Amino acid sequence: MTYIVTLIPGDGIGPELSEATVGVLEATGIGFAWEVQQAGEATIASEGTPLPERVVESIRRNGVAIKGPITTPVGTGFRSVNVGLRLALELYANVRPARSMVGVESRYTDVDLIIVRENTEDLYAGVEHRVGPDAAESIKIITRAASQRIARYAFEYALRNGRRKVTAVHKANIMKLSDGLFLESCGQVAAEYAGRVEFEDRIVDNMCMQLVQKPERYDVLVLPNLYGDIVSDLAAGLVGGLGVAPGSNIGETAAVFEAVHGSAPKYAGQNRANPTALILSSALMLRHLGETAAADRVESAVRSVIADGRVTTHDLGGRAGTREFASAVAERVRGT
């Protein structure tokens, strides 16, 4: 069986990381056919848009994509490709695991969080306008349908993966209507899972403090879009930074796997960036495809190469390049 996967190399460090990730995936022995689709800075000049329709069509056709980071040019009027893809393909769940790793320096050793971020509405719906020359409004959209859908995803994820608790994160004390509706919707869904998965809620500012003080108390977090974006970077910081934080964007009919980090232009083309986050994102893709054993092999290969400490990238205090690290991981995948 060969999986046809859309591969978007992306901008900045994206092409190097994509190449590294393809090498590791091919080491699993599973058959892949890569449908390479350029998007981002390169296609603005050649096709007049950073997100040509053919890219969306390719993902629709194949159902899965691996995506390198894409630069969002400031002030050009183009919408973020990342946000555009999530909306075009209705990738409503952004799932970002944050798990401590031996060999990655951090203040904690026992973090194991799953951030489930609603990906289609809130302040990212893109409804904003100027109100005269000196004021602007961005509209925060929260619906019961999207809130229940993301809450259900979080609870189903918890059940499937043996997780014990879901925490809904909000600011319903201030945004009583919008965040109030999010919280109410999560509570309604939680009632269906009573006795199987615990439920609690936290106000987002308190949540940030709690995560920094006692991250081990939390398990699966479910959040509206903006808080999810911010808290997932905080969670990445708890386990050693953006270089090791994977992610996935899941919809009913398509899924896009990408690192939490951006295109880090200062490291582009230098064989210096850490491919761990994209490689771990590709392991999430293997899991999504039902290739659980291969996903376990890729994850444990990454973990053991990093734990050994002989071949690690600069951000983790090592001297290996992107390619050398990826080769070491691929070799270990082949050997398991």
Which residues are known catalytic residues? 124, 171, 205, 229
CB of 246 to ligand NAD, least distance (A): 11
Angle between helices 292-308 and 276-288 (to 10 degrees): 160
CB of 299 to ligand NAD, least distance (A): 17
Classify residue 200 by burial, with Cβ atoms within 10 Å: 0-12, 13-18, 19+. exposed
Q: Which is nearer to ligand NAD, 5 or 273 (CB)?
A: 273
Structure tokens at 133: 């020359």
CB of 274 to ligand NAD, least distance (A): 4
Restricted to residues 269-288, the positions that interact with ligand NAD (CB under 6 A) are 273-274, 277
* Residue 266 interacts with ligand NAD (CB under 6 A): yes or no: yes
CB of 199 to ligand NAD, least distance (A): 30
Q: Which is nearer to ligand NAD, 183 or 260 (CB)?
A: 260
Render 208-220 in DSSP notation, one character per residue. Answer: HHHHHH-GGG--E
Q: Which is nearer to ligand NAD, 67 or 332 (CB)?
A: 67
Q: Which is nearer to ligand NAD, 22 or 264 (CB)?
A: 264
Phi first, then psi: give them for residue 7, nearest 5 degrees: -120, 115
Restricted to residues 297-316, the positions that interact with ligand NAD (CB under 6 A) are 315
CB of 193 to ligand NAD, least distance (A): 31
Nearest to 18 by CA among 233, 250, 258, 246: 258
Structure tokens at 288: 């999504």
SS3 299: helix
> Is the Cβ–Cβ distance between 283 and 299 less than 8 Å?
yes
In angstroms, the first-to-last Cα distance of the chain is 21
> Is the Cβ–Cβ distance between 116 and 152 less than 8 Å?
no
Q: Which is nearer to ligand NAD, 273 or 285 (CB)?
A: 273
* Residue 124 interacts with ligand NAD (CB under 6 A): yes or no: no
Q: How many residues does the chain have?
A: 336
* Residue 267 interacts with ligand NAD (CB under 6 A): yes or no: yes
| Residue of the chain from 118, 179, 229, 258 that contacts ligand NAD (CB under 6 A) | 258
Q: Which is nearer to ligand NAD, 67 or 202 (CB)?
A: 67
CA distance 17 to 15: 5
Angle at 67 between CA 31 and CA 85, to 5 degrees: 120
> What is the x/- site pattern for ligand NAD, positions 57-76, by CB under 6 A?
------------xxxx----
* Residue 41 interacts with ligand NAD (CB under 6 A): yes or no: no
> Is the Cβ–Cβ distance between 107 and 81 less than 8 Å?
no
Residue with tokens 């022995």, as numbered in its chain: 29
CA distance 118 to 95: 9
* Residue 220 interacts with ligand NAD (CB under 6 A): yes or no: no
Q: Which is nearer to ligand NAD, 23 or 262 (CB)?
A: 262
* Residue 263 interacts with ligand NAD (CB under 6 A): yes or no: yes
| Interface stretch with ligand NAD, choices 18-26, 133-141, 166-174, 254-262 (CB under 6 A) | 254-262
CB of 268 to ligand NAD, least distance (A): 10
Alpha helices in 89-221 (DSSP H): 144-160, 178-192, 204-213
Footprint of ligand NAD (CB under 6 A)? 13, 69-72, 82, 242-243, 258, 261-264, 266-267, 273-274, 277, 315
